[in-house]
Chains A and B, each alone.
Chain A
Amino acid sequence: MSNIWILCKKELRSYFVSPIAYGLMAFFALICGYFFYAAVAIFVLRSTDPMMMQRGMPMDINEWVIRPLMMNVSVIGLFMIPMITMRLFAEEKKTGTIELLATSPILDIEIIVGKWLAAVLLYLSILGISAVNLAVVFIYGKPDWKPVLVAYLGLLLQGGCLLAIGSFISNCTKNQIIAGAGTFAVCLLLWVLDWVAAYETTTFGKMISYLSVTGHFENFAKGVIDTKDVVYYLSLSFFGLFLTARSMESLRWRA
């Protein structure tokens, strides 16, 4: 357990002494700020719409601002994850420092979980920036805070499983560019899989759309925790870490 923490701390530190963490945070702050502005602008436009005014029921800020914002953040996450994971193992393999880790009295799984945990913590701290945008909503409106927490839980779960997949891909190569591009391709694929859901009614089509990462996030964005989605994210995380462990093992016999 303490070994995991040693690795995690080292990994977090190298994120924060390099420009990666700050670059990603700046990128996220910009994009997230833009989407927040867009969501609020639509909200304001609609609320002044005479048709809406006549409806008598006030517009729900959770539904009109927070939900679309969270859906967008989930998609931005897909773009950030390759940049977080690409160096995780590829760099160590390239510089040979993996030899230090592999000849130290720690288990492979401790190395993997430590690194993955660091990636998750970095991802969380990047997501934390969106809290600034939400704070504005909480200051000027009275949104329900529970769905917001659920949405963040969903983002965390989604990030966790994609970071695990990214770790695996980074472990397969010495080249960070390949690791990054590969992870990006997989993230993109897992995102667009549910686009077919609207047209497909066959079992196969449903299966495909079930595999979509963002599809499972929709419930979380609404503030609904469905065990189906939780199981999906957790099992995908375990699967990713399991593949990473296998790939790490193959390092020894493939050399």
Chain B
Amino acid sequence: MIKVEGLTKRYARNVAVDNISFEVEKGQIVGFLGPNGAGKTTTMRVLTCFLPATDGKAEVAGFDVRSQAMDVKRRVGYLPETPPLYPEMEVREYVEFVGRLKGVPKANLQARVDEVCGRCNVADVKTKLIAKLSKGYRQRVGLASAIIHNPDVLILDEPTAGLDPEQRKETLALIKELAGEHTIILSTHILPEVETICQKVIIISKGKLVATDTMENLNSRLRGSELLEVEVGARTGSINKDSVQSRLSSVAGVSRVEFKDVRNGHLQFHVESQQGESVRAEIARSVVSADWDLLELHGAGLSLEEIFLQLTASDKGAK
């Protein structure tokens, strides 16, 4: 559905996107990850024909973004980071206006407006002025107008930025719902979001492609060894840090135990397992059988920064 080959975008003084290539298949949700300033927005702007690429080729829905821009624009729904709303319009009016711009036939424009407003949960504010809407509603109105012409490809630039956790959850659920009919690229710098809804991840950093893979592959590649956070407390009396550490280390499959902190008299450790070993059950048993309390045992997620460090580090190693 989307094919990018050697895409480069150079501004006067810096290179925003440097020779990146990737492909997205029909119906997929793809997470476009990267820290701020990585070139996510620039890439998306090229795909939506807002900016021309300096070099390279990009195809959306089988049309070239440079030579067949009109065909691409007809098939792409785009939600920029700040939804492009006119505050002086009412919600219904705005969605209708966008529908007309995108060339939705007059005969079924009204039906489409009602449909997308319903899907994006903005039906209850249809007659409100956009200026009076909260951030969450604005985001959803933006999304509603992005899908008004039923586009093949949906490009969402940080659709959850600035939303509260509840709104964030709702927005993600909505995007996931839309996935069947549309191919979706969404950019974000928040990893858990991607984990919950994306099938594929494209990671860029400083304009360069760092990784492009399916979510599972990426996870196993990065988390061949599991990192656990363990909190142990004494049932009675006090507890010795070293004895806990040595006991944890002696569990089969554990490669490293690191003492982290003391919290309310409880000891916190980071335990790393060997490649491909699951050690949770053993750790729990060993702690409890030593007559300590196991207060917490959970996998410590890798932050996006850590993924970057790992990926870029492995790149350097390969070279």
Given contacts A103-B50, A103-B76, A255-B51, are A97 and B102 in contact (CB under 8 A)? no
84-118 of chain A: CB within 8 A of chain B: 95-106
Interface of B is mostly: loop
B84–A99 touching, CB < 8 Å:
yes
Report A220 CB to chain B, min CB distance, Å.
36
Which one of B93-101, B119-127, B248-256 is at the A interface?
Answer: B93-101
Q: Which of A10-18, A134-142, A167-175 contacts B (4 or more CB under 8 A)?
A: A10-18
The answer to whether residues A97 and B101 also contact, given A103-B49, A103-B76, A104-B73 and a CB cut-off of 8 A, is: no
Kindly state the separation between the CA atoms of A102 and B89 in the bound complex, as whole angstroms. 19
* Nearest CB in chain A: distance from B81 CB, A: 8
Q: Which of A96, A99, A106 is packed against the most chain B CB atoms within 10 Å?
A: A99
A13 to B86, CA, bound (A): 11
B residues near A13, Cβ cutoff 8 Å: 88-89
CB of B103 closer than 8 Å to a CB of A:
yes
Does B100 contact A97, Cβ atoms closer than 8 Å?
Answer: no
Cα–Cα distance between A102 and B85 once the two chains are bound (Å): 14
B84-A6 in contact (CB<8A): no
Report the separation of the CA atoms of residues A255 and B82 in the bound assembly, to the nearest whole angstrom: 17
* Docked complex: A187-210 residues within 8 A CB-CB of B: none
Within 8 A of A (CB), among B102-131: 102-103
Q: How large is the interface on B (under 10, 10 to 19, 20 to 34, 35 or more residues)?
A: 20 to 34
- CA–CA, A102 to B45, complex, Å? 10
Q: Which of A3, A105, A253 contacts B74 (CB 8 A)?
A: A105
Does any Cβ of A come within 8 Å of B6's Cβ?
no
CB contact between A103 and one of B48, B89, B97 (< 8 Å): that residue: B48
Interface residues of A (CB under 8 A from B): 3, 6, 10, 13-14, 17-18, 95-106, 252-253, 255
Q: List 12 A-B contacts (CB under 8 A).
A: A14-B88, A14-B89, A17-B88, A97-B85, A97-B86, A99-B80, A100-B98, A101-B101, A102-B50, A103-B49, A104-B98, A105-B103
With contacts A14-B88, A95-B84, A100-B98 known, what are 4 further pairs, Cβ within 8 A?
Answer: A103-B76, A104-B102, A253-B52, A255-B11
